[in-house]
Amino acid sequence: MADPTGFLKYPRRDMPKRPIDERVGDWREVYADVDPAERDADVSEQATRCMDCGIPFCHSGSAGCPLGNLIPEWNDLVRRGDWEAAAERLHATNNFPEFTGMLCPAPCEAGCVLSINQASGGPVTIKRVEQAIADNAWERDYARPECAEVITGKSVAVVGSGPAGLAAAQQLTRAGHDVTVYERDDRLGGLMRYGIPEFKMSKKRLEQRLGQMRAEGTRFVTGCEAGVDVTVPRLRERFDAVVLAVGALNGRDDTTTPGRDLDGIHLAMDHLVPANKECEGDGPTPISAEGKHVIIVGGGDTGADCYGTATRQGALSVTQLDQYPRPPTERDEERSPWPTWPYILRTYPVHEEGGQREFAVGIERFVPGTGDDAGHVRHIDLRTVRVHKDPASGRREVFPVGDEVRRIPADLVLLAIGFTGVEPMRVLDDLGITLTPRGTISCGADWQTSAEGVFVCGDAHRGASLIVWAIAEGRSVASAVDTYLTGTSELPAPVHPT
Ligand code: SF4
């Protein structure tokens, strides 16, 4: 039985971070190394803040966890110090809780009833409890391989090794299928490997899980592009089903602003991928922010990753631009009694490390240097803008406000303005896959694409989204594939195709 007054006894305490001066000097995770016993005692107090609500909005409803994580159950187990049972309950709904613990923006905390009233001290630190359970599980060997008891004789190819592909592969392997994951890059992990910087999540967490999956029997083939290095006829001949978890990495470009073709202007992933490869020991990135005035266009997660990367590369200045107005930093109690997430300002640890953010601004033009420098961006002209979203069509329009134009220095501009769907791929053409108008892969209610026996999950289906949705879709598609192959499935399906 939870302590209904725990939140009155203990203030909310987030995961402690390393000092800013220290962490901007390296690529290690921003969070402090804490003695495990101290961590467990502190997190136990945080878990005590959970009231075990009759209707736990943290793991149900539109604002809660798409995985259906059993949050009040494991909060109570942590409160009582039963970390092994907590690990079992956490892994019952989430294959990779350390990935979500480090990377998810926590819709569960927005859904927590304690987020409604600031006098409560804020929502339960669900993410922190989740991360501590996962760390504890690895330290005490509670995250052991779960090998299938029965082998089905069926085989599945999973194309892509991001969180959706890995979740699907692990579920299908545990259900007794022979699963091979194909990854075109030289290392496994998809966006978690080359999109997410080391300071946000150490690759050792990824390696731990990959080790567990190998021990369970999942096979991995890297440096192998499906449709090219392993052809579609070969995939069809060798496997009974195929899961496409190829992500949605077609970066949105700025095709209208004058000066876009100047040197020094890049898509965000063109900055992040080589920077992350450098961290893996692959040699210096060709797009470093060192000694440069850096402008990041776009106020989302990818922009924040560029922000922290540019800071660590030694940028002269870092400025992140957002077309939307600055949201309030706290809920406006006068205006509404309801939680305002995501309408309050989202900040990331990187925003504490220097640099600045500008809101309600748009780029009028990219300005070149002079003389020999005339082909390179050196400034941008900014003006105040207002964004109007048509409620009927969802179309966004951006209008200038006033006549004032400001010029600020810009030696490196990174466009983090979203993604437009899956990249062109031979495997999609050769399979005859139908795309949606949004550039994602269309599927039926059973996650099956226009190609018989070929399924889709994650960003490739949903469009660029949260890691927690990728894992939820990976788990769900595994259930659908299991049903397709065997006629029935006991695997959970937490979400359905939209
Ligand atoms: Fe606990 Fe908050 Fe979930 Fe209620 S909504 S069960 S207080 S985490």
In angstroms, what is the span from residue 328 Cα to ligand 1's centroid?
Answer: 24
Contact in structure between 475 and 67 (CB atoms under 8 Å):
yes
Tell which residue, 175, 166, 180, 164, has the closest CA to residue 210: 166
Q: Regarding beta strands 377-389 and 406-409, do their DSSP bridges make them parallel or antiparallel, or are they unpaired? A: antiparallel
Count CB-CB contacts under 10 A for residue 392. Answer: 5
Please, what are the domains in the chain? 6-139 (1.10.1060.10), 155-249+420-486 (3.50.50.60), 265-415 (3.50.50.60)
49 CA closest ligand 1 atom index: 7
| Length, in residues, of the chain | 498
For ligand 1, atom 6, the nearest C-alpha belongs to 52
How would residue 62 be classed by pLDDT, with cut points 50, 70 and 90? low
In angstroms, what is the span from residue 77 Cα to ligand 1's centroid?
Answer: 14
In angstroms, what is the span from residue 59 Cα to ligand 1's centroid?
Answer: 8
Over range 280-292, report the average pLDDT: 95
Looking at the chain, the whole-number percentage of residues with pLDDT higher than 70 is 95
For ligand 1, atom 5, the nearest C-alpha belongs to 112
Over range 30-49, report the average pLDDT: 96
CA–CA dist 112, 123 (Å, integer): 6
- Pocket, ligand 1, Cβ cutoff 6 A: 50-53, 56-58, 71-72, 75, 112-114, 124, 126
Better-scored residue on pLDDT, 56 or 470:
470
| Mutation to probe ligand 1, out of 5, 48, 50 (largest number of atoms < 8 A from CB) | 50
How would residue 229 be classed by pLDDT, with cut points 50, 70 and 90? very high
Q: Determine the pLDDT at residue 227.
A: 97
For residue 110, what is the enclosing H or E element? Answer: helix 107-111
pLDDT at 341 over 60: no
Q: Determine the pLDDT at residue 122.
A: 87
Over range 425-449, report the average pLDDT: 97
In angstroms, what is the span from residue 50 Cα to ligand 1's centroid?
Answer: 5
pLDDT at 110 over 80: yes
Over range 331-336, report the average pLDDT: 49
Contact in structure between 244 and 435 (CB atoms under 8 Å):
no
Give tens-digit pLDDT for 370-391: 999 999 999 999 999 998 888 8
> Integer distance in angstroms from the first to the last C-alpha of the chain?
37
Over range 63-67, report the average pLDDT: 81
CA–CA dist 155, 498 (Å, integer): 27
Tell me 437's DSSP state: T
| Mutation to probe ligand 1, out of 51, 59, 65, 76 (largest number of atoms < 8 A from CB) | 51
In angstroms, what is the span from residue 115 Cα to ligand 1's centroid?
Answer: 9
In angstroms, what is the span from residue 305 Cα to ligand 1's centroid?
Answer: 30
Residue with structure tokens 């490390």?
Answer: 353
CA–CA dist 324, 321 (Å, integer): 9
51 CA closest ligand 1 atom index: 7
ipTM of the prediction: 0.95
How would residue 36 be classed by pLDDT, with cut points 50, 70 and 90? very high
Give tens-digit pLDDT for 455-464: 999 999 999 9
